[in-house]
Amino acid sequence: MTDLDFDKHHLWHPYTSMQNPLPVQAVSHAEGVRLFLEDGTALIDGMASWWSAIHGYGHPILDAAAKAQIDKVSHVMFGGLTHEPAVELGKLLVHLTPRGLEQVFFSDSGSVSIEVAIKLALQYWISLGRSQKSKLLTLRKGYHGDTFAAMSVCDPVTGMHHLFKEVLTKQIFVSEPQTPFGQPLPAQELDELRATLAAHHSSIAAVILEPVVQGAGRMYFYSADYLCGVRALCDEFGVLLIADEIATGFGRSGKLFACEHAGITPDILCLGKALTGGYLTLAATLCTPRISSVISQDGGVFMHGPTFMANPLACAVAVASIKLLLQSPWQQRITGIEAQLQRELEPCRHLASVRDVRVLGAIGVVEMREAVDMATAQRFFIERGVWLRPFGRLVYLMPPYLIEPADLQHLTQAIHQFAQSVR
């Protein structure tokens, strides 16, 4: 049995069947923006391993940080113990994230950081003696992860989790924002949210949303005014605001954090994906002192504590990754990627198969009129030396920030050719 045969019969991949799995490629190693397959094929990576590998693969500074930490301690429990990587990372996150977020909870993955955010919000209201505030309000077309509380706030139809609708907590949904990024918001676009908060605020703990960029559910960039409006409405109706920046954190949208487009501070912020530069799984949930002090009053403790909380190896690489980002001309790079994506993807708009083209920061999206056949698309892109993985009607790219213009052009050309090939 070859390795690929074993994989096919024994290993689950994300969102796949064990009976009829889509083909997978075996990666032997990766370097810079290139993935090398076992047959020697080199692919330019347009996915940054799902938003995470912002510095590309095998970066010498991140490699060195991981090796140095392994020689000290790879993991140690966080109950009753602490360590320099966690403290250093905590300092960076408190310093860099929007002003007012001061307490940090480290966890293992994006979905878990969402569970933690939701639990913080619920426990805050329970500590205030207002446990009837137990619902979440969210936007349609959102994506917040695959665990149960996270699933309950994913889009109920397109969110990949409708199978479980009977067991998921029923949350409150409002329409997704319609005004694109960069455009002023018509006042009525917040009417539904205002009316819903007015009617239900006494049972709502928090609004949870992806600021500015609705990712996996939609790949859409909405007006920053909308986010400002949500912040104001949350304050008016006494509801917390949870910002899920798992995809947008660390520069992807052109600002270090997408909340900065609106100049707002959420009450709770979730980070993941690019946190370690794509090296190790780690996430963080930050909150305001108001939340942490209410939860901690009268001897209260926050009821969460994963085994691998604040894993030192992951924290050490995260510290190195964030410092590397800040020392790099990241804003200039992302502005350059944005301009090139606009220039080179825009011609797709005129193709009959294409419904829309959108670009923000280092994210480029070609929305097709019909759902793309994943297996066909995969083969098409691999034949052209690029790694892209469309889903539904969305062909998109979010490359490592240090990609060279020639490599990026290779990616955009492949997307244009693909859109041309679809009738």
Ligand X SMILES: *Cc1c(COP(=O)(O)O)cnc(C)c1O
Which parts of this chain interact with ligand X (CB under 6 A)? Answer: 109-111, 114, 143-145, 210, 215-216, 244, 246-247, 272-273
State the residue number with the nearest CB to ligand X: 110
Q: Are 53 and 280 in contact (CB under 8 A)?
A: no
Supply the minimum distance, in Å, between the C-beta of residue 248 and ligand X: 7
Nearer to ligand X, 246 or 324 (CB): 246
Is 273 marked active-site? yes
Nearer to ligand X, 109 or 152 (CB): 109
Catalytic member of 108, 135, 141, 143: 143
Supply the minimum distance, in Å, between the C-beta of residue 141 and ligand X: 12
Nearer to ligand X, 245 or 407 (CB): 245
Which of 261, 244, 259 minimizes the C-alpha distance to 121? Answer: 244
Nearer to ligand X, 210 or 225 (CB): 210
Catalytic member of 45, 108, 244, 407: 244
Nearer to ligand X, 36 or 308 (CB): 308
Q: Cα dist. 202→175, 316, 390 in Å? A: 21, 42, 41
Supply the minimum distance, in Å, between the C-beta of residue 370 and ligand X: 24
Supply the minimum distance, in Å, between the C-beta of residue 208 and ligand X: 10
Catalytic member of 3, 15, 71, 298: 15
Supply the minimum distance, in Å, between the C-beta of residue 178 and ligand X: 19
363-368 and 213-214 as β-strands: parallel, antiparallel, unpaired? unpaired
Is 146 marked active-site? no
Q: Six-digit token pair at 36?
A: 């090398």
Is 63 marked active-site? no
Is 15 marked active-site? yes
List active site positions: 15, 143, 244, 273
